[in-house]
Amino acid sequence: MYRELNCSDIIFFSPADNSLPGHIRVKNWTIRLFKQVGVSIWLFLKGNQIISEYRLDKLNIHAGPGGVLLIRKLPVPVLVTCHHTYWQQYTHIKSQFWKRIFLPFEQRTYRLADKIICECEDTKRVLVERYDVPVEKITVIHCAVNTGKFHFENLPKKPDSVLYIGRIAKRKGIDFLIRSMPFVVQLIPNAQLLVGGKGSRLEKMKSLVRQLDLERNVTFLGFVPDNQLNTLYNQAQCVVVPSIFEGFGITVIEALAAGTRVVGTDVDGIREILNSGEYGRLVPYGNHRALAAAIIAELKEPKRAGTLRAEYRVEQFRNRYREVLEG
């Protein structure tokens, strides 16, 4: 994200080792011991010192599950970027009910923030209704794609092809998609699902494909390098994003930038992109027959997605983010 802002006066603090200009790697015992939570402890212990040492005028922290929690007020304005919330995480993924213990700390983070950026309207609604955050502090700035990287290439489509790109994880709904494929194959025997990505459930999903006798209809591609993604999006007749929920469906807009329609679940982070119908179809999460019917409809009546709206293009993202940072 910060690469797209192309700003020379930003300093980046993180525990990662990378080549981002202006990046300062944070090494601290709290991070070694507590990992992501340790970054929040580090900010609590060292915040004032860091602000003074580097003469910071303001601070932008990234919050949500795995993000930074702001425990006390800092002496400069703080902008918090909310990717999604712990409330969404534990509500939509029942096995992560224990994450509700972070809610009081997360609520305090948003209360202490001077400004908040959300990636979608659904998350804004959660902050207002569940966290009691004043609506006037919140700005929605959608994630965006670089259309120089993701674009229409006028390549021939692979017949009856369906593409999934993402982690092979429970939250991403890959098992929901695979369990829907037998209904697709009943009407389109040659339908091909290409699964790009890796993750903790990969072997389970391969086993599920064997159990459902779908080995001739499902191909696991493994990790797909960035330089191959645009071609895959262009060649697919439709892309499926079957997530339980998303902070924002970045895969959705990557596919749309390539001109390929998307079947997505009617959940946070996806619904507002697809609800107009110009870009694809929405289905209820967990309804296998509905997902299959939507895929079949896209395969039988293929057409290009509508032109990607400006709000999903990196140029507008860059301008709006700078406005909030500098405002």
Nearest to 129 by CA among 77, 81, 91, 95: 91
How many C-beta neighbours within 10 Å does residue 33 have? Answer: 10
> Which tokens hold the place of 39?
């970054």
Q: Where are the domains of the chain?
A: 2-140, 161-307
Of the pLDDT bands very low, low, confident and very high (cuts 50, 70, 90), residue 1 is very low
Of the pLDDT bands very low, low, confident and very high (cuts 50, 70, 90), residue 7 is low
CA atoms within 13 A on the CB side of 4: 18
- Rounded to two decimals, the pTM is 0.92
Strands (E), the chain: 12-14, 23-25, 59-63, 78-82, 115-118, 138-140, 161-165, 192-196, 218-222, 238-241, 262-265, 280-283
For residue 9, pLDDT beyond 80: no
Using DSSP, state whether 313 is helix, strand or coil: strand
With beta carbons less than 8 A apart as the criterion, state whether 240 and 262 touch. yes
Count the residues in the chain.
327
Record: fold of 161-307: Rossmann fold (3.40.50)
pLDDT, residue 8, reads 59
> Which tokens hold the place of 308?
């990607």
Distance between CA atoms of 157 and 254, rounded to whole angstroms?
Answer: 17
What one-letter code names the amino acid at 6? N
β-pair type (192-196, 161-165): parallel
Distance between CA atoms of 229 and 156, rounded to whole angstroms?
Answer: 15
Of the pLDDT bands very low, low, confident and very high (cuts 50, 70, 90), residue 5 is low
pLDDT average, residue stretch 130-154:
96
